[in-house]
Chain A
């Protein structure tokens, strides 16, 4: 009886134990499979499904002849995983010697999961890492930019360490060039390493879209060389030049001094990154007289053959206000007033225009955006008649109390060459032409062109002449404003001009700030214009010539 009871008890106990064990397993399964489904599903998915994002290659930038001016190159970055270091002592010693900055960063926070030692490694740094042969240091290939044309730095700009545009075209068209990343879902197990079982596209990205500039990289290089030589020759601080097709508004070259090497940006002086012809505005002096003349002729307040009394003096007073000019002239025609850049005659005519002069300057695009939308582009300034002092009309007539960029001058000058149309300048080739006009009559244009031709033939621009080509132009020498006062010893020399032959037309504008050698634009920027125009003709005409 006892034995049976014991057997039952034992059997019952075993059953209970098994029941409890199975119960625990079932309970556990319930928790895992039902109550914590999403948690374990996510955990499994994380191990099994990998999301991978790939960035498309940044698109190239080309010049007008399809020469690439911004291409991609691989750069290498070195990184460590501080939490999982295996050779700490060796690594610390290596970093202290070769990468002291990374050593300091690592010493400051050793609990990071990930840390870049350095990105964009140099050849020497790569060799040092290879020589050290430390397993804790990992290498990562990254894409960066290379710019074959150094002279295009201020136009194309550069990208930052993450390959995003910093300034210039790279910044303006960053989205278009960068494209969008593609996201993939990979299925793999923990031991498959790089290998995956399936690959699905989760989100399709788009490739970057290439950009073609209107710039001719060869002309750009040649103009940059000429500008550098001119700056050295005249001992100047800064200079700029711009060449444009007056019919289409396409900018063929735009150069600045100082400039920078876009492939060597370790130490970058921001002053050198400025595209001065577009982003710098200045009082450009007598070059503005040609636009005053255009307004005066269009308004009918003067004619080319009207005799103006320039009082045969270098200095006089008009309405008790002092006016000075470079050379004394007596009674000369209005054409000669502009041709010889006489300030006294210019002011006398400008007074007849009054506030209309402001309207004409605005009409010609001064003090307004050109529509180029280049990063950092300056609008300039024209003093509004409501702010005018007694001096304002005379100042405005020869280019003071207003600031203009070289681009604005080129745009306004193009109007004289292309039949009176104000074109929108372009740096990107899209075969469209945006222009408004004609803003002035053909008779006015003919008269102004006569003045410009005379200026180069026998006026201040004679040093700009090129045999076999029709050259039109105007010089400008302006005093520079220093601490609220015009410095008599510091000048800004400008030349705006055009070269023409049959259908070939190019507008070229240039400026040089300060010179140790000469005092007038006729001695500095007129010959500079000639050099620039000759290089342009030589390049373009020989290229187009069918042998």
Chain B
């Protein structure tokens, strides 16, 4: 009787170990499969990102922007002598001067680009 119980116990333990091993292997394969599916999804997303990046850069092509600006917006290239910039005042004194000049002239403080140091 005692021997039979021991034998049964040993068989049960073995069965449990086998079950756990199979379960572990099953779990690993399942996770591996999920991992592969996610990797595939990631690859698809990366591919889409690549396509969007490509579209973005195609849209950014200077030649097409220039053609659009010239033909559709009737823009023309700026010349150096035409370039002016409105300088932002840097201190309170300049702000008050700029304000009065701007009010008097109805515009900001203009400065010729050619005299601005690099």
Shortest C-beta distance, A337 to chain B (Å), equals: 32
Residues of B within 8 A of A502 (CB): 117-118
B80 within 8 Å of A (CB atoms): yes
B80/A534 in contact, CB under 8 A: yes
Residues of A within 8 A of B61 (CB): 148-150
B54/A71 in contact, CB under 8 A: yes
Q: How far is the CA of A141 from the CA of B66 in the complex (A)?
A: 33
A221/B79 in contact, CB under 8 A: no
B54/A467 in contact, CB under 8 A: no
Segment at the A interface, from B10-18, B95-103, B108-116: B108-116
Q: Which of B46-100 contact A (CB under 8 A)?
A: 47, 50-51, 53-54, 57-58, 60-63, 66, 78-81, 83, 85-88
Residues of A within 8 A of B113 (CB): 538, 541-542, 545
Assess A541 versus B57: contact at CB under 8 Å? Given A72-B50, A73-B50, A467-B81.
no
Segment at the B interface, from A194-202, A285-293, A301-309, A312-320: A194-202
Q: Which of A128-179 contact B (CB under 8 A)?
A: 141, 146, 148-151
Assess A547 versus B53: contact at CB under 8 Å? Given A148-B61, A467-B81, A541-B113.
no
Shortest C-beta distance, B40 to chain A (Å), equals: 8
Query: Which residue of the partner chain B has the closest CB to A194?
Result: B36
A544 within 8 Å of B (CB atoms): yes
Assess A146 versus B80: contact at CB under 8 Å? Given A468-B112, A503-B117.
no
B29 within 8 Å of A (CB atoms): yes
Q: How far is the CA of A197 from the CA of B61 in the complex (A)?
A: 46
Q: How far is the CA of A150 from the CA of B80 in the complex (A)?
A: 25
B24-45 CB mask vs A (1 if < 8 Å, else 0) is 0000010011001000000000
B79/A534 in contact, CB under 8 A: yes
A contact residues, range: 35 or more
A71/B57 in contact, CB under 8 A: yes
Residues of B within 8 A of A73 (CB): 50-51, 54
Residues of A within 8 A of B85 (CB): 542, 545, 547
Residues of B within 8 A of A196 (CB): 32, 36
A419 within 8 Å of B (CB atoms): no
Query: Which residue of the partner chain B has the closest CB to A547?
Result: B88
Query: Which residue of the partner chain A has the closest CB to B65?
Result: A221
A191-229 CB mask vs B (1 if < 8 Å, else 0) is 000111110000000000000000001100100010000
A501 within 8 Å of B (CB atoms): yes
B contact residues, range: 20 to 34
Residues of A within 8 A of B78 (CB): 538
B118/A541 in contact, CB under 8 A: yes
A466 within 8 Å of B (CB atoms): yes
Assess A148 versus B58: contact at CB under 8 Å? Given A195-B36, A502-B118.
yes
B58/A501 in contact, CB under 8 A: no
Query: Which residue of the partner chain A has the closest CB to B80?
Result: A534
Residues of A within 8 A of B53 (CB): 71
Query: Which residue of the partner chain A has the closest CB to B117?
Result: A502
B57/A221 in contact, CB under 8 A: no
Residues of B within 8 A of A198 (CB): 32
Q: How far is the CA of A384 from the CA of B47 in the complex (A)?
A: 59
Residues of A within 8 A of B86 (CB): 547
Residues of B within 8 A of A77 (CB): none
Residues of A within 8 A of B50 (CB): 72-74
Which one of B54, B57, B83, B85 has the highest number of Cβ atoms from chain A below 10 Å of its Cβ? B57
Q: How far is the CA of A149 from the CA of B63 in the complex (A)?
A: 8
Q: How far is the CA of A149 from the CA of B61 in the complex (A)?
A: 6
A468/B66 in contact, CB under 8 A: no
A221/B36 in contact, CB under 8 A: no
A195/B116 in contact, CB under 8 A: no
A540 within 8 Å of B (CB atoms): yes
B116/A221 in contact, CB under 8 A: no
Shortest C-beta distance, B19 to chain A (Å), equals: 20
Shortest C-beta distance, A72 to chain B (Å), equals: 6
Query: Which residue of the partner chain A has the closest CB to B88?
Result: A547
Q: Could you pull out 7 A-B pairs where Cβ atoms are within 8 angstroms?
A: A148-B58, A149-B61, A221-B63, A225-B66, A534-B80, A541-B118, A545-B116
A residues whose Cβ falls under 8 Å from a Cβ of B: 68, 71-74, 141, 146, 148-151, 194-198, 217-218, 221, 225, 466-469, 501-504, 534, 537-538, 540-542, 544-545, 547
Known: A73-B50, A504-B118. 9 other contacts (CB 8 A): A146-B54, A148-B61, A150-B63, A151-B62, A468-B112, A501-B117, A502-B117, A538-B113, A541-B113
